[in-house]
Amino acid sequence: MERMPTRKNFLQKINTRIAMSAVGAQILARTMHHLDGVVLRLSNGRSTAASLLTGLQILNLTTTGAKSGQPRTVPLVAVPSADGQMIVIASNWGQAKHPAWYFNLLAHPEVTVMLDGRSQPYLARETEGTEREACWQTAVQTYAGYAAYKQRTTRQIPVILLTPQPILS
């Protein structure tokens, strides 16, 4: 599932800068998931608005609701790691609270990742210590916005490692 990074075009660079700004993050936190849903349907699960606008690889993480028990899907920046693992960052655009999906995976760490139109089960766990720092640095190299989000919040931003699980038939 690891993909080589692509060069961003001019519009993708501008959109990334907007997403890193406080005002841009506020607006996008409330609107991007609506746009992502439309593009995801139109592309048969192969693309999102966020990936088109920023040039970043985006995965769709499906968790089980901590309270509802219902499936919940959210698009997130995909940060490839070793052995097919993926890193996701619970930045919530630098807002004061953790995103809902973070609490969902704490309650139910079995998740599904859809990337490039393919779904696979993963097991999620929060990283700590030196592993967390290494994953954080990898994520910041992938998307510099995480560093900006960290500056805007007083909470520690959770760094989650997703490990692929065998597909049971």
Q: Using the predicted structure, report yes or no on whether residue 4 has a pLDDT greater than 50.
A: no
Q: Using the predicted structure, report yes or no on whether residue 101 has a pLDDT greater than 60.
A: yes
Q: What is the mean pLDDT of residues 131-137?
A: 97
Q: Using the predicted structure, report yes or no on whether residue 2 has a pLDDT greater than 60.
A: no
Percent residues over pLDDT 90 in the chain? 49
For residues 133 and 157, is the Cβ–Cβ distance under 8 A? Answer: no
- Segments making up each domain of the chain, as ranges: 56-164
pTM above 0.85, yes or no: no
The pLDDT score that the predictor gives to residue 45 is 62
Q: Enter the CATH code of domain 56-164.
A: 2.30.110.10
Residues 6+ positions from 108 with CB-CB distance below 8 Å: 63, 64, 66
